[in-house]
Amino acid sequence: MEGMDWEWVQGQLESLRRASMWCRNVCTFHGVVKLEQSSLGIVMDRCHGSIRSAMLNNGGRLTLEQVLRYAADIARGVAELHAAGVVCMNIKPSNLLLNASGHAVVSDYGLAAILKKPACQKAQTECDSSKIHSCMDCTMLSPHYAAPEAWEPVKKSLNLFWDDAIGISAESDAWSFGCTLVEMCTGSIPWAGLSADEIYRAVVKARKLPPQYASVVGVGLPRELWKMIGECLQFKPSKRPTFNAMLAIFLRHLQEIPRSPPASPDNGFVKLPGSNAVEPPPMSGLEVLPDDPNYLHQLVSEGGVSGLRDFLGKASSGNSGSSFSSILEAQNADGQTALHLACRRGSAELVEAILEYAEANVDVLDKDGDPPLVFALAAGSPECVLALIRRGADVQSRLRDGFGPSVAHVCAYHGQPDCMRELLLAGADPNAVDDEGESVLHRAVAKKYTDCALVILEYGGCRSMAVLNSKNLTHFH
């Protein structure tokens, strides 16, 4: 703490202790002591592990029950901290500890704003003290979990409370929680393999989501949960869900899960009566009947190409054409076929394995009326898009029973230039207008996806430059 204002730090830590003392599901902060050699001792409850260690002890990721149970604990703790005016700022698996009862508790909350570097090169010239400046460098946040707004300097006072702050806020915790949930579900650290500078360019400059998010559906997570995680990763902070709202979702799904967790995450994401997750096979893979559609969904969710090919081969030879079609078009509890899941995973190998069979319907709709092509576009996989197109996917199709946006609009919304190129080469209309009067070009420009917009213009979207949307604006506006 060399160079720090000890009295200011001590006062802020005492305010933090008082603010959090009645909060549940937090690692209780008892106080601070000044040690020798200009260092501090933070006194908190002793815990017996963390979510990170639980993942390592469970094969790298967690079961569905563990995800829901720990997530509910965390959401409850953060919601109460927010109610007390505390921004956590540093939510990640290693800071989510497990107490003696096995419950997850939030630790290190609010400390990043107080124990920051006393001198930061990014401090604004108008700041007369380090107390009124916060950025990624001085708060030493982990780049893998930091919200876009956390990367830039904050001109106003942050300290413990966000009422008058610019930049980091309670909504920033939702982004960090979304990244944490991605890791809990997949076992992969968001932005793994990238440096801090590379993450900065991806998150702040290119406005990209962690690539690991695309794999969340592939582990059999209920639809409502992976959609919620996506909402946590909204770039506009006000669009992210509150922790109270997320707690309600976790508790609702926990009611459908038995209290005894499966021993392995490989069979942990299971469907139980009323659940929205894919049901596991009732027996080993060698004993599974070839007409079990639930096993087909599980194989796709696990990404086992060889197992999928074996299963489809047995199912096709042991059933009539109509019976085999019913297996391929069977929907899981989320209303998705195996082909939808394969596209959502972004796995061209899985998609091609299913489409090898004439009985496979390349334009089969899920319960929301979306074809597999929409899922491939959301995953940003041009290989999957091309595999579907080769099999005759309708690139002119529109959602909402033909009255909504075209698949090209969907691609523009996600900003996938390579996928857009495949669509337009296959005959998709670059000048299509959706039900809100927006052209494909409008959608790409509105989301600031320049590369995607250039592809649209290159392949015939020039006529859209003069099109007025429902607000009488062209894309130039």
Query: How do residues 275-285 score in pLDDT, each as one tens digit?
Result: 444 444 333 33
Which of 275-289, 397-411, 427-441 is predicted with the least confidence, judged by mean pLDDT?
275-289
Domains of the chain: 6-120+130-254 (1.10.510.10), 278-466 (1.25.40.20)
Residue 29's closest CA among 11, 39, 15? Answer: 15
Select the highest-mean-pLDDT range: 77-81, 321-325, 463-467.
77-81
Q: Three-state SS string across 136-149, please? A: HHHHCCCCCCCCHH
- DSSP-derived secondary structure for 119-134: --TT--TT-SSGGG-B
Is the pLDDT score of 404 beyond 70? yes
Please give the Cα distance from 340 to 376 (Å, whole number): 8
Which of 2-16, 86-100, 422-436 is predicted with the least confidence, judged by mean pLDDT?
2-16
Please give the Cα distance from 52 to 176 (Å, whole number): 15
Helices and strands, number each (H, E), in the chain: 20, 4
Q: Which two tokens stand for residue 12?
A: 């802020």
Q: What is the mean pLDDT of residues 249-273?
A: 61
Q: Which three-class secondary structure state does DSSP give residue 374?
A: helix
- DSSP-derived secondary structure for 296-308: HHHHHHHT-HHHH
Cα distances from 136 to residues 117, 140, 148, 152, 374, in angstroms, run 10, 6, 10, 7, 36
* pLDDT value of position 281: 39
pLDDT tens digits along 22-65: 899 999 888 777 777 667 777 778 888 999 999 998 878 788 88
Q: What is the mean pLDDT of residues 244-266?
A: 73
Q: Which pTM does this prediction carry?
A: 0.55
Displacement of CA 227 from its chain's centroid (Å): 8
Cα distances from 420 to residues 3, 181, 268, 376, in angstroms, run 54, 30, 36, 11
Cβ atoms of 429 and 396 closer than 8 Å: yes
Beta bridge partners of 33: 41
Is the pLDDT score of 377 beyond 80? yes
Is the pLDDT score of 274 beyond 50? no
Beta bridge partners of 35: 39
| Confidence bin at 472 (pLDDT 50/70/90) | low
* pLDDT value of position 399: 84
The Cβ of residue 472 has, within 10 Å, a number of other Cβ atoms equal to: 8
* pLDDT value of position 159: 37
Q: What is the mean pLDDT of residues 299-309?
A: 82
**238 vs 7: which has the higher pLDDT:** 238
Q: Which two tokens stand for residue 78?
A: 């953060």
* pLDDT value of position 120: 53
Phi, psi (5° rounding) for residue 27?
Answer: -75, 110
Phi, psi (5° rounding) for residue 367?
Answer: -65, -20
Beta bridge partners of 106: 26, 96
Cβ atoms of 287 and 295 closer than 8 Å: no
pLDDT tens digits along 54-63: 999 887 878 8
Is the pLDDT score of 130 beyond 50? no
Distant-in-sequence contacts of 468-471, Cβ < 8 A, 24+ apart: 468/437, 469/436, 469/437, 469/438, 469/439, 469/442, 470/436, 470/437, 470/438, 471/437
